[in-house]
Amino acid sequence: MARYRRFVRTVVALTVVAAVAWGLTPWYGLTFNMSTSLPGTLYFIRKGPCRPRLGDTIAFRWHGGATYPAGLTFIKHVAGLPGDVVHVVGRNVWVNQTYIGYAKPLSLAGMALFPTEDGVIPPGHYFVATPNPNSLDSRYSIAGTVPQTAIVGEAYEIF
C-alpha cells in the first residue's frame, strides 16, 4: 500500500510539474544545442521581445538553407549591432575592427560556403557568431544577419 501511495504521489507531482512547464512555454523554454558551435548542451530561453547587446547569447529561428530546415532554433552570440560596420578581407571577417573569424570555404558536409560581404548591419538586424570555426553564422552569406523578427529570446547556458 505504501508503494502504491508513493507511486500516486510521484505521478501527481510529475503531472503538476508538466502542467506548470507547459503553461510557461509562451515565456520560457529549453533548447538543446546539438552542435559544437557553443560549449553548452542545454540552454534556458527567456522568450519575448529583447534588445540584444554585444556579447549577449540569443536564440533565433533559422530562415532555412544549408542542411537545416526553416524554423530550427539556433543559439549564437551577438557580435554586431545595427549600424556596425562589417569588413571582409579574403575570408577573414571583422565587425567594427573586432576580428570575428575565418569563413571556411567548405562546410563539414562539403557544401561550398561564401563569406559575407562588406557593409553596414541594417536597422533591426544582428550579426551573430561563435568562436567555433565550424559554426554556421553571420560570417557566411547563407546565414546573413538575424532580423529582430526572428529572435525568439535571450539564451542562458545551463550545462
* pLDDT tens sequence across 103-159: 999 998 899 999 999 999 999 999 999 999 999 999 999 999 999 999 999 999 988
Quick check: helix, strand or coil at residue 150?
helix
Q: Which domain holds residue 34?
A: 2-157
Residue 17's H or E segment, with its range, is helix 2-23
Q: Please state whether beta strands 57-61 and 151-157 pair in parallel, antiparallel, or not at all (unpaired).
A: antiparallel
Tell whether the model's pLDDT for residue 17 goes beyond 70: no
Spatial CA neighbour of 57 closest among 5, 140, 126: 126
Per-residue pLDDT tens over the stretch 84-108: 999 999 999 999 999 999 999 999 8
Residue where the block lists cell 567555433: 132
Distance CA 105, CA 91 (A): 8
The least confident of 18-22, 75-79, 93-97, 123-127 is: 18-22
CATH of the domain at 122: 2.10.109.10
For the chain, how many structural domains are there in total?
1
Count CB atoms within 10 A of the CB of residue 47: 16
Contacts of 111 (CB under 8 A, 6+ apart): 66, 67
Could you read off the pLDDT of 33-54 as tens digits, one per residue?
878 888 888 888 999 889 999 9
Closest CA to 82 of 54, 124, 53, 145: 124
C-alpha cell at 149: 523578427
Report the predicted TM-score, pTM, of the whole model to 2 decimal places: 0.82
| Residue matched to cell numbers 529570446 | 153
